[in-house]
Amino acid sequence: MPGPGYAFLGHEERENVEKVLESWELTRFKRDNPNNPSFVDVFERLVERSFSAAHCVAVNSGTSALLTALAALDIGPGDEVIVPGYTFVASIGSIIYSGATPVLAEVDESLTLDPADVERRITPRTKAIMAVHMLGAPCDMNALTRLAERHGLLLIEDVAQACGASHEGRRLGTIGAAGAFSLNPFKVITSGEGGFFLTNDDHTHQRGYSFQDQGWFPGRTDIGSGDVLFGLNLRMADLAGAVACAQWEKLDHVLSETRRVKKQLADAVPERPGVRRRVLHDAAGECGTLLVYVFDRVADAQSVAAALDTKTLVDSGRHHYANMPQLAELSKPGGRPSPFRRGGEEGGHSYLPGSLPRTDDVLARSVAVAIGVSDSYLGAGFGVTVRSDDEEIAKAADRLSSTLDGVLG
C-alpha cells in the first residue's frame, strides 16, 4: 500500500476519468467553452476554497511545484536557500535547478528544521528557508516565521508529505510565501503524478503560473500585469485533474481515518524509558501517516528496527543527505551533478556525509512505523495501513510492544 489516499481510490475517480474520456478534452484548456471548466480548473478552485488560499496552480509533480515556487519567488544564482539535511532529494534538487545554492541545516527530534541551527547558517546571501514538513507533521512554524521576518527571508513550505496538515489552525502551505505539494502515489492523496503550488500573493501567483505554462499570464492570456518570464511546460493533464478532484473531496476522510488508526496503534503501545515519540509541533494538526519513535541509544533503535524487519531513518534511501550521491558529487571540483552547473561551485558549503552530526544522530536513533504511508524507501517497512482492522492493529501493537520490551528490558 503506498499512501492513504491511494487506498480510497474508487468509483468517484473512475467516473471523473470517464468524463474526460467521453470528451477527449485531455488538457486543462477546454476548446471553446469557458463555462465548462476542466477538472484542473475545478481542482484549483477547490483547493483555494478549502485551504483559504488566494491562489492555487496545479502542476505535474511535487518537484515541479517546488521549482515553480522558487521561480515565482525569483530565487536563482547567487542566492542561498536553507534546507534540512533530512528531506526527499527533490527539495534539494529543485534548489539546484533554480541555480541557487542549497545550504543544509540540522533537524531536531521533531525530524524537521531546527530553527536555532537555521539561524546560524544565515549569511548575507541567504534568500529563503525551505521548511519541509517531514513525515506528515508541521515544522516549528512560529519560530521559522519569526526568523524569516527578522532576517527578511522568504519562507517556502515543502508540503509534499503533509497535504491537509495544519499548524495552530492554519493549513500548511498557506503560512509561508509559497507552498508546494505532491500528489504522487506515496503521498496523502494522489493523482498518479501531480502536484500544486499555493500562494496568497498576486505577483507570486502570476510568476508561478507563467513559469509552468511557457510564460503565459494567468488565464492563458498574452498580456497581463506582471513579469514577463520564460516558462516551461509543467502543466497538469486533465486525466490527472479528474483523479485529483475526486481525491480532494476525500481528503478530510483520509486524514481522519489515518489519525484514528495512528491513535489506536499508539495508544496500545505503553510508554517506557529509553524511547519516546517524535516531538510534534502540533499533534492535532499532523497527518498521522507515520508513527515515529526516537530512542536514547542508537543500538536500541537498530535492534528494534532489525526485529521489525525495517531500518532506522538514517538508512532511508534518498531522504538523508548522506544517502544522496549527488551531494557528494556537488562537493567535488569538476563534479557534474546537474547539466546546468559544475561541481565545486558551492564555495564554503559542505554536503559530505558527517557534515550534519545532529541530524545523523537523531535519524540513527529513529524508527518509523507505517500508518498510512508504507514505503520501505522512506524507512517504514513495518506497520499497518489506513484500511487495517482492529485485529491487525492490535497484532502490530503487540509485536511492537514485545519488541520494545525485549530490547529495552
Ligand X SMILES: *Cc1c(COP(=O)(O)O)cnc(C)c1O
The answer to whether residues 13 and 194 touch, using CB atoms and an 8 Å cutoff, is no
| Catalytic site includes residue 187 | yes
Residue 369: φ, ψ to 5°: -100, 130
Neighbours of 266 (CB within 10 A): 17
Binding mask 82-101 for ligand X (x = CB under 6 A): -----xx-xx----------
CB nearer to ligand X: give 378 or 400: 378
Q: Work out whether 301 is an interface residue with ligand X (CB under 6 A).
A: no
Q: Which of 3, 4, 5, 62 binds ligand X (CB under 6 A)?
A: 62
* Least Å from the CB of residue 408 to ligand X: 31
Nearer to ligand X, 130 or 384 (CB): 130
Q: Which of 166, 184, 326, 385 binds ligand X (CB under 6 A)?
A: 184
In the bound complex, which residue of the shown chain has the CB atom lying closest to ligand X?
Answer: 62
Work out how close the CB of 134 gets to ligand X at its nearest, in angstroms, rounded to a whole number.
Answer: 7
For ligand X, the closer CB: 61 or 326: 61
Q: Of the candidates 61, 68, 110, 112, which one interacts with ligand X according to CB under 6 A?
A: 61
Of the residues 161, 191, 310, 326, which one makes contact with ligand X according to CB under 6 A? 161
Please choose, out of 58-66, 243-251, 330-338, 369-377, the segment that lies near ligand X by the rule CB under 6 A.
58-66
Closest Cα partner for 91 from 102, 80, 99?
102
Stretch that binds ligand X, among 2-10, 51-59, 153-161, 233-241 (CB under 6 A): 153-161
Which CB sits closer to ligand X, 160 or 269?
A: 160
Residue with cell 558527517: 354
| Span interacting with ligand X, options 38-46, 61-69, 255-263, 309-317, rule CB under 6 A | 61-69
CB of 351 to ligand X, least distance (A): 17
Amino acid at 108: D
Of these residues, 19, 30, 187, 250, which one is catalytic? Answer: 187
Which residues 361-390 are close enough to bind ligand X by CB under 6 A?
none
Q: What is the dihedral of CA 347, 325, 292, 171, to 10 degrees?
A: 60
Chosen residue from 16, 38, 63, 112 binding ligand X by CB under 6 A: 63
Q: Which of 176, 195, 208, 383 binds ligand X (CB under 6 A)?
A: 195
Assess 160 for contact with ligand X (CB under 6 A).
yes
What is the three-state SS of the chain?
CCCHHHHCCCHHHHHHHHHHHHHCCCCCCCCCCCCCCCHHHHHHHHHHHHHCCCEEEEECCHHHHHHHHHHHCCCCCCCEEEEECECCHHHHHHHHHHCCEEEEECECCCCCECHHHHHHCCCCCEEEEEEECHHHCCCCHHHHHHHHHHHCCEEEEECCCCCCCEECCEECCCCCCEEEEECCCCCCCCCCCCEEEEECCHHHHHHHHHHHECCCECCCECCCCCCCCCCCECECCHHHHHHHHHHHHHHHHHHHHHHHHHHHHHHCCCCECCEEECCCCCCCCCCCCEEEEEECCHHHHHHHHHHCCCCCHHHCCCCEHHHCHHHHHHHCCCCCCECCECCCCCCCCCCCCCCCHHHHHHHHCEEEEECCCCEHHHCECCECCCCCCHHHHHHHHHHHHHHHHHHHC
- Give how many residues touch ligand X by CB under 6 A: 14
Of residues 91 and 212, the one with the C-beta less far from ligand X = 91
- Choose the stretch contacting ligand X; rule: CB under 6 A; options: 145-153, 156-164, 259-267, 353-361: 156-164
Of residues 113-132, which lie at the interface with ligand X (CB under 6 A)? 132
Q: Does 182 bind ligand X (CB under 6 A)?
A: yes
Compose the 228-267 pattern: x for residues touching ligand X by CB under 6 A, - for all others. Answer: ----------------------------------------
Find out whether 322 and 312 touch, Cβ atoms under 8 Å: no
By beta-carbon proximity to ligand X, the closer residue of 61 and 403 is 61
Of 56-64, 107-115, 303-311, 353-361: span binding ligand X (CB under 6 A): 56-64
190: which 3 cell numbers? 494522489
Q: Which is nearer to ligand X, 61 or 204 (CB)?
A: 61
Closest CA to 183 of 195, 171, 197, 173: 195
Contacts to ligand X by CB under 6 A: 61-63, 87-88, 90-91, 132, 158, 160-161, 182, 184, 195
Active site positions, annotated: 187
